[in-house]
Structures are given as C-alpha cells and as structure tokens.
Amino acid sequence: MMSPDYLQPHMVVQAGQVSVAGRRPDNEDCIGMRLPEGLLQATKGYAMVLADGVSAAEGGQEAAHSVVTGFLSDYYSTPDTWSTVHSVRQVLLSLNSWLHGRSLNRHQSQLSYLTTLTATVIKARTAHIFHIGDCRLYLYRTGELLPLTRDHRVATRDGTQLTRAMGMDFSLDIDYRKLVLEAGDILLTTSDGLHDTVGDDLIARRCGEWVADPQALCDSLRADAEQGGSTDNISVQALLLSSLRDPTPEETWLRLSERAFPPLLEPGQCVDGFRIEAELHASERSQVYRVIEEDTGQRLVMKTPSPLYADDTDYIERFALEQWMGSRLQNQHVVRVLPQPEGARFLYYLTEYLQGPPLEKAIRLQAPFEVSEALRILEEMIRGLRAFHRRDMLHRDIKPANVLLTERGAVWVDFGSATARGVAELGSLAARELAQGTAVYSAPEVHAGEPASRTSEQFSLGVILYEMLTGRHPYGDTYAEQARRPDRLQYQPAARFNPLVPAWLDRVILRSVDPLPAARYPALGDWLHDLRNPRIAHDLPAASKRIDMPGDSLWLTLLIVSGLANLALLWLLWQS
C-alpha cells in the first residue's frame, strides 16, 4: 500500500538539548524530543517539548515529567489522518484534565500538579507551536533572534506569578501559532532559569557562534546561565534545519510510478493471483471488478486506475491516497479496504465484496420508503460517515450511488473524493479543492466555491433522507441551477408528496438542509438526537428560510374572500 511519505520534504535536522538542576536540589524541568523517520515523519513530523514544573506546587516535578512523556507518546499514537492541531489539542486536553483531577483528588482546595509547556511539532515545512506558561521558543534566522511566544506571567510584590499553566484549570487556554520554516533556521526552547539570566542579546550571539552545532549551542547557553548566577533549573533545546527542500517532480513521479497500471481486464484474466469474474462498473477514471483470490477462493472487489491517466502524476496520487485513506477506516457501515499481497506488481486496491443494491437504485424503484425504513438507513449512513469525521476526514461526495444496502445495513463503498486534514498538511493533491461532490446533493456553499465541511455533508444526507421519503429533491428539480442563490431556495415540505411524513420530521429535515450552514445542526449527533426524539423535534425553532407550505395560495384566497364577506355583512346590518 502506497503511503504519503513521498510528499515529505527532504529535511536534514540536527538536535541538541540539556537540562540541569543548577543551584536547586531537584530538577523540576523536563525535556524531550522525537525525530522519527519514514512514514511517521511524514504523517506526524518531529516533536520538541519542554515543561517546567511549578516549584510552588507540590507535584510540579511529576507534572512536568508526565506532560513531556505523555505528549511524546500520545501524539504519535493519534490517527495519522488527523491534523497536527487536532492531534495536539486532544492530547493536551487529556493531559490537562488528568493533572487538574489529580490535584483535586489530593487537595480539594490547592492545585498541586502544575507545569508550563512549550511544544513544537515540525511537519512538512511548517512548525506548529503550542505554548502555555513562561518557557520560551525562539527562532534564529539569518543572524536575527525572534521570540515566538509570550510569557503568561505577571509581576507581583514578591516577584512573578504564572497566569496560565497546565493543570491550573479544567479548561485549557493554550497559545497556538504556525511558522513556515527555511533551511538554516534554528528553533530554540528555553526555561525561565536560562532566559531570565542570560538575556536575548547573549542568546543571539551564542546562536551565531554555534550556528552549525546545536548541542554545543545548548551547552554554551547552560554554562552562561550558571555563570550568570541562575538560581533556577536550567533547560534548553535546539533544533537546526540543516537542509530543507521539496521533492522534485521527477522524484515524486518515480515514487508514484513504482507499480504499473494494469490493462483493461476481461473475465478469466489473472492479476497478482486474483482472477477476474466480472466487471461491476467502468468510467473514464477507473474500473471496478469482482475477483476471486485463487489461493483462498475468497470473493473480493478490485478497483483499478484508468490507463488513460498512466502519465498523470496528480491522478496517480489521488488514486494511491484513496486506498491509503480507506484503509484507515474501521466501521461496519464503511467497506473494508484490504492490503495488497506481497510482491504486487500493479496499481489497484482491494475491498471486501458486499452484495446488495445501491441506494440510488432502491430510491428509483421503491420511493417513497416507509418512514421507519428511511430513518434506519439514514442512521446507518450517519454511523459510517462519523467514522470519516472521527479520523478528521471528509467524504466529499455524499450521494445514494455511493451507498450499498447490504445484509449488515447501509455501507459506504467509495472514497474517490475523500480528504484528510493530516494529509492536507503535506500539500497533497488529495486535499486540494477539486470539483467536490454531485451537484444535486452538494450544499449551496459548496456550489459557491467554499470547501466541503461536516456541515455541508449534513446537507447532502438531508437531501438523501428527503429523497427516500418522497422520491424528490427538497428544493425542486432546478436546485442545481439555483444553488448559488440560496435566497431563492424554498423548501417543499415532504408531507406535500408523502402525507405519512409527520410534521416534526419535516422540521428536522428542513433544519438539516437549511441553505445557511450556521442554521443546520452543529453536529451529526445533534441531528440524530432530534430524529430519535420526536417530542423535542416538534418544538424546533423556525428555520432561516420560509417553508413553501402546501395550499398557501388557496388559504390566502379564502382569507380574502372571508374578509370581504364579513365587511359586506356588517354594511348590510348597518343599513338595516
């Protein structure tokens, strides 16, 4: 299986770090780095972490050690489809909750597990910086020292006091910024025991003197702090980007073209030990076959790239990452992507073989569905889609043709347009905003050129639910032409075409397909809650767009006629 490590820039790093107790009896600082290689470097990058346990807190030393070791362990265990920010924030929220809970369990009125933290993750060309407390991160570039963080402390009569730290509160307020790196950059993390004594001018001078040796730079700054009379623990880390360049087009092409395109296949032909039984689907961009693995007799599905794109680097990348992203999903409502056999010669990917009609066909032949059946199918689709969202992925082509109705329920079977934020950070084609989705199922904001989102995918699901219940589109046959003008869209109540649809369900559908993204449900879980609780859904507030109610014109006419009749009657009574 091809992984996205070929997208990683060619980077050569040198690192150095040192941490000493200084004049203190114990060292309450903790430092750590992790510089992986290969796929882990591409999907997670390098990490450098410094934590300074708060000396006034009883458990400061333990807090600093727990945060550094926990960060370096847990961050690299998060899904490789997650973005760096999402991964780090989840890790830090968990560590902060643990520290805060530890303090409350031990001392009901005193916080005893506090530490500062400055963490840097370098992924592709970007440094992601997370900071809380009074450690510091500097950038040394072309002879100039630039501070990248600010101290979270205030001056008091007795010295200084931290205003923010890990474990100080159940909620976590942490600074984040990102920086595009250049070859020759030095990232330098220091504790207050160093920078408060040495000062920025001397730090800058030492960076210039030891610009090619980060460990010598750290040792020199430690000695400066000791000689300057530092009374605190002393810690410093340095990461030098000796070389940094993007892969050349030729290098990318060689990596992507390691496996040959298979030819168009006929029943009876064999590819890497798989015998073709039948062609299930063919388009300009790919072919899908039902195959049998000859060694086991297992029936599978093989998707192959179209030979028309054999020299298209962007297409090959898209196809390879489709397989890689699909393999990250484990859910009964998402088709399983299987590994290729060892020594595979051709570019393709395999999935389990599932029997059942596409939802698109079922809608065409059976709509309107029973309300209970439509809601069951929708809930299964939501369960599958949430597997994408939990991995920081978007499907980006929500439509009935991509769902099979199988013995185990509704199952998503296509990842051709999917994207993952973790891959997007590498500059992958898979994250670039290509034509997204199918027009009649795409939300108005996607038609307007905005990127797909979880909210836009909710809109697509709402359209499918409406279609299952009515066989129609909630905004009529001209939706695709009018989608760029959401102010002209008018929802047609499902009950107009299917009187068995209850009013509360119409309101729930209306909110899910509201032309304004902010008016939809905040999350799929909130939508499911209303679908399962009709009493709550019945009290939904009015949506942002007027519902085109059936019989509006008729009722308006009757109201006018009734009013005129009443006026005539009053006039006759007055005359008499």
For residues 380 and 190, what is the distance between their CA atoms, to the nearest angstrom? Answer: 51
Statement: residue 205 has pLDDT above 70: yes
For residues 159 and 222, what is the distance between their CA atoms, to the nearest angstrom? Answer: 23
DSSP alpha helix (H) spans, 146-276: 192-198, 200-209, 214-227, 249-256
Radius of gyration of the chain, Cα coordinates, nearest whole angstrom: 30
What burial letters (b/e) apply to 477-500, b meaning 16+ CB within 10 Å? eebeebbeebeebebbbbbebbee
Average pLDDT over residues 441-459: 95
Residue type, 25: P
**Short-list 367, 377, 386, 366, CA closest to 406:** 377
**Short-list 149, 135, 140, CA closest to 205:** 140
The model's pLDDT over 295-343, given as tens digits with 9 standing for 90+, comes to: 999 999 999 999 998 888 888 888 888 888 888 899 999 999 998 888 8
Side-chain-side CA neighbours of residue 138 (13 Å)? 25
Share of the chain above pLDDT 90, in %: 70
Mark whether 110 and 53 lie in a shared domain.
yes
The model's pLDDT over 474-495, given as tens digits with 9 standing for 90+, comes to: 999 999 999 999 888 999 999 9
CB 290 within 8 A of CB 349: no
Mark whether 68 and 203 lie in a shared domain.
yes
Looking at residue 562, its pLDDT comes to: 54
Mark whether 89 and 190 lie in a shared domain.
yes
Mark whether 218 and 282 lie in a shared domain.
no
Looking at residue 318, its pLDDT comes to: 85
CA angle 418, 423, 424 (to 5 degrees): 85
Please provide residue 435's backbone torsions phi and psi, each rounded to the nearest 5 degrees: -60, 125
Statement: residue 140 has pLDDT above 90: yes
**CA distances (Å), origin 296, targets 261, 265, 274, 292, 300:** 25, 21, 10, 8, 11
**Short-list 365, 361, 363, 371, CA closest to 495:** 371
pTM of the entire predicted model: 0.76
Establish if 563 belongs to a structural domain. no
Average pLDDT over residues 200-214: 96
**Short-list 379, 221, 294, 255, CA closest to 4:** 255
Mark whether 196 and 50 lie in a shared domain.
yes
Mark whether 378 and 333 lie in a shared domain.
no
Mark whether 209 and 347 lie in a shared domain.
no
Greater confidence (328 vs 130) lies with: 130
Q: Which CATH number do you get for residue 127?
A: 3.60.40.10
Mark whether 96 and 142 lie in a shared domain.
yes
For residues 493 and 29, what is the distance between their CA atoms, to the nearest angstrom? Answer: 63
Establish if 24 belongs to a structural domain. yes
Establish if 459 belongs to a structural domain. yes
Mark whether 164 and 298 lie in a shared domain.
no
Domain count of the fold of the chain: 3
Q: What is the largest CA-CA distance in the chain?
A: 113
First to last CA, the chain: 94
Q: Which CATH number do you get for residue 268?
A: 3.30.200.20
The model's pLDDT over 143-195, given as tens digits with 9 standing for 90+, comes to: 999 999 999 999 887 778 899 999 999 899 999 999 999 999 999 999 999 99
**Domain residues for 155?**
4-247
Among 336, 352, 368, which residue terminates a domain? 352
